[in-house]
Amino acid sequence: MSKIMIMTDSCCDLPKEIIEELGITVIPFELTVGGEKFREIFDKSTQEIYELMSKTDEIPKHSQISPMTFEAEYKKLYEQGYTDIINVSINSQGSGTYSNACLAKNDFFENNPEAKDKIRIFNLDSKCYTVFYGYPIMEAVKMIRKGAEAEEIIAYMEDWFNICGIYAVPYNLKYARKSGRISAAKAFAGELLGLKPVILFADGTTETVDKIRGEKNIVSKLVEIADKNMTPQTPYIMIHGRDNTLAKEVEKELIKRTGRKAEMYANIGAVVSANIGPDIVAVLVRRKNK
């Protein structure tokens, strides 16, 4: 009988209580800001992270998760009798974490040859960030509890990763410019003219798909873009930073257009905040043009 574990990193931005309830293995990213080092999710709440960032102009520093860390987790789960590990990683275009997970798989089987016929390890590249992969991980656990096999779960996740996208509006680009990891934000040239970019996070890349003049137009433009690109009658997710006011306004207008409430609300965590800033509103949708 299969015994499947879903494993991921803390950039999935799932709250600690949900992680514990679903029994997911989450490897935390370590960050340093203001001289303080902490593990995302486990050492500080999201709100504590926002407060820490508000007290300094320093960009939180973080590094990829090492192959040794992954290998240790694989071994632990193997010894606990798991037959399948499905590990979902942060976008491989923005971090070496996925590559390290793959290296660790090779090292694990080389160091534990007796495990080759007893456990399977699947490493999936989410091609994105935050609850873009946090949400399907939650759904995957539900599938496991209903008796789904690993191949069925992987097919569901890969479909999600290939089709979904996040349309995001950062309130400012201070963090994005300093981190340099978000190419669309780095290339955006309209901020001095009072313009804000609408950035699509999908397919492992970022792209500026529209520009908004002034904060008063954020809600209407984001609603228009989300509704235009959303597959009808599919879930959408509201994503926000330390303030969810605009997210609530966007959902209110999307309810009028689609007749559907958001499937969930999600805060961006420390890793995402370090690269896009703690002030953002975004909508995750299943894109119909895919």
Pairing mode of beta strands 280-286, 264-267: unpaired
Contact 109, 116 (CB under 8 A): yes
Beta strands in the chain (DSSP E): 4-9, 25-27, 30-33, 36-39, 61-62, 84-89, 120-125, 164-170, 195-202, 205-213, 237-240, 264-267, 280-286
Q: Consecutive 10-residue runs of the chain (290 residues): their mean pLDDT?
A: 95 95 96 86 87 82 93 98 98 95 98 97 98 98 97 98 97 72 59 79 94 91 97 96 96 97 96 90 92
pTM of the predicted model, to two decimals?
Answer: 0.93
Which of 162, 25, 134, 27 shows the shortest CA–CA distance to 84?
A: 25
**Going edge to edge, which strands form the sheet with 61-62?**
36-39, 30-33, 61-62
- Residue 158 φ then ψ, to 5°: -65, -35
Three-state secondary-structure class, residue 269 = coil
Residue 274's pLDDT is 86
Q: What are the angstrom distances between the C-alpha of 245 and each of 30, 52, 238?
A: 29, 21, 11
pLDDT value for 179: 61
Q: Which pLDDT belongs to residue 183?
A: 64
Angle at alpha carbon of residue 16, lines to 155 and 30, rounded to 5°: 90
Q: Measured in Å, how far apart are the chain's first and last C-alpha atoms?
A: 36
Pairing of strands 4-9, 25-27: parallel
Phi, psi angles (nearest 5°) of residue 3:
-130, 105
Cα 24 from Cα 135, distance rounded (Å): 12
Q: How far apart are CA 109 and CA 123, in angstroms?
A: 14
Q: Which residues does residue 31 pair with via DSSP β-bridges, in sequence order?
A: 38, 62
Max distance between CA atoms of the chain, in angstroms, equals 62
What pLDDT, on the 0 to 100 scale, is given for residue 188? 61
Helix (H) or strand (E) segment spanning residue 280: strand 280-286
pLDDT at res. 9 = 98
Length of the chain: 290
